[in-house]
Chain A
């Protein structure tokens, strides 16, 4: 990692996390730069999810430092993370099934009708759909029409919607970090390919992306760098070009280590 500290969109140093006597994370360093996809791998219980939760602010680290865009953050929780431009795409997606794609994406910043209807909080649905279509187009995503309820979407469309929602919230600032927990779990082959394409395009637009996954093909297809956790420790952190399938498996199972 020759890039300077200022360049890291998100940087963790010396992160440890204890649950009682159990050490879920032990002195982990990790950084992700704008335009970079980091795949975070590890066996069940290796600490991937815990690390992701620390990054999203959902869990507080027992010790260690977090810096966003090169600035150290003292109090870090999901709200602060969101304000600083770190968005999480949860595995459960957290979409509102009964409302349409547009409303799901624009919730919290719905465009209002012109005066005087705006005083009563009337939403301008036409404009909201337009905004959504434009944003999805910028991401290069075409799912169902923006006014279709989420419950009528397929699994892949939902996943794309959830990822797009995280991206849309970062659009205004033009950069940011997106954390994803198993973005292709429960997706079919073709849909996985679509999500891979979306992740790659978002990285190319300048977003920093951290990807927790069990899915090695996904990891090799989209990541720039691969970090592996084993029993709470980081055992590998290498550019993708320096990793192959068997070495990754060896790191995951703990047979080998490769720390730069």
Chain B
């Protein structure tokens, strides 16, 4: 059986007596697993080194680091929204619409009703909560999430335009504290991203509900058979996802001082690029949030470095696209060779070997 140690037939005495010996992964597999799961960290460090040498002395400065962080923040928030949706098993395309609607609601609350900032923010996030809840409920009727959220994308962006009466609300300066403001030299957005990623990562990996939510994305049937409601966790995924989109929209507004009903799908695709670069699976349940953050940073790093180097900006677009496809191929190759190494004996069928 080589390393494939299933010894269900062996007497349990060996394991029972004293120290349980942990069977480690064979070293070749461990290296492959490391590369697959940590590859993006390696890639990022590699990029940083290359760009630091290439663009010396302009790249490796504190100031430029802050620029990268700043540029990565919005992508990171939207990427967290997309990734959370995917962890629970659904790709939510309505996120830009939800972001626009929340932004417009906050803008109107602040400018036309003079609502205090904290209440307006709660209102904006509340819009996200509602959108997620509605998306979730519709999808649970057994409809395809992609199509449903394309519908709600249209509905929410239309509603956003209705809320602001067709015009952008400009001069929204109340939110500067979470926009262009810096604290201790670090952009405010970086703090928000740090808190969101830390809290969400802990939720997804350490707590019961987070784990179950990922389990639903992985195999909702298994969750149902464990006697849990898979539907509750699916809706939870939609809600967290939509609220993060609201947050992203509000952060954008805080940066540009303007509430616009324009739901730009480009942020969604940038976020998707970061998410897939990080190896999150479209099939659901697979991926890690810290890697998504690095994915957003990689995108920002590339476009920053190429700009410094004076390379035309469309090369950055070309590079990130190629990189993402490369990441997919890499992930697939790694996963396949890992399972090939681990599961050598499982493909023999009963009919070939056991039944006669």
Contacts and interface: CB of A to CB of B under 8 A. Distances in A.
Interface of A: 78-79, 82, 88, 90, 92, 94-99, 103-104, 107-108, 110, 112, 120-123, 133, 137, 140-145, 148, 151-157, 160, 184-195, 197-198, 214-218
A157 B353 CA distance: 18
Those 10 A-B pairs whose CB atoms lie nearest each other, nearest first: A155-B346, A194-B8, A188-B348, A108-B226, A96-B218, A154-B346, A121-B207, A121-B208, A197-B9, A94-B222
B320 to A, nearest CB: 26
A123 B346 contact: no
Contacts of A198: 8
Interface stretch (B42-50, B147-155, B297-305, B337-345): B337-345
Q: Which of B4, B12, B350 is the most central at the interface, judged by chain A CB atoms within 10 Å of its CB?
A: B350
Contact of A160 (B8, B228, B349): B8
Interface stretch (B14-22, B67-75, B307-315): B14-22
B218 A140 contact: no
Nearest to A133: B20
Given A94-B222, A215-B355, A218-B354, A140 B8 contact: yes
B206 A107 contact: no
A97 B285 contact: yes
Interface stretch (B130-138, B177-185, B209-217, B235-243): B209-217
19 contacts: A88-B225, A96-B285, A97-B218, A107-B228, A121-B208, A123-B206, A142-B8, A154-B343, A154-B345, A155-B347, A156-B345, A156-B346, A157-B4, A186-B349, A188-B346, A191-B6, A197-B8, A198-B8, A215-B355
A86 to B, nearest CB: 12
A107 B23 contact: no
A107 B339 contact: no
Contacts of B223: 96, 107-108
Nearest to B338: A152
A197 B8 CA distance: 7
A99 B346 contact: no
B350 A160 contact: no
A81 to B, nearest CB: 11
B318 interface: no
B231 interface: no
A214 B339 CA distance: 28
A108 B23 CA distance: 27
A141 B11 CA distance: 9
Interface in B192-206: 206
Contacts of B14: 142
Contact of A142 (B12, B25, B210, B353): B12
Contact of A194 (B6, B12, B208): B6
A134 to B, nearest CB: 10
A103 B355 CA distance: 34
Given A123-B206, A142-B14, 4 more contacts: A79-B227, A186-B349, A187-B349, A188-B349
A98 B212 contact: no
Contact of A151 (B209, B225, B339, B348): B339
B355 A216 contact: yes
A194 B212 CA distance: 30
Given A184-B354, A189-B353, A215-B354, A107 B342 contact: no
Contacts of B212: 107-108
A170 to B, nearest CB: 13
Contacts of B210: 121
B97 to A, nearest CB: 30
Contacts of B22: 145
Contact of A193 (B9, B211, B214, B218): B9
Contacts of A152: 25, 29, 338-339, 342
Most chain B C-beta atoms within 10 Å of own C-beta, residue among A108, A110, A142, A155: A142
B354 A217 contact: yes
Contacts of B209: 121
A122 B209 CA distance: 9
Contacts of A195: 8
Contacts of A197: 8-9
A142 B23 CA distance: 11
A94 B208 CA distance: 19
B286 interface: yes
A111 B346 CA distance: 32
Contacts of B9: 193-194, 197
A193 to B, nearest CB: 6
Contact of A187 (B15, B23, B354): B354
B10 interface: yes
A122 B207 contact: yes
A95 B219 contact: yes
Contact of A96 (B206, B215, B347): B215
A155 B206 contact: no
Contact of B228 (A78, A98, A108): A108
Interface in B107-136: none
A99 B8 contact: no
A215 B210 CA distance: 40
A131 to B, nearest CB: 13
A170 B29 CA distance: 35
Nearest to B11: A140
Contact of B219 (A96, A142, A185, A191): A96
B6 A156 contact: yes
B1 interface: yes
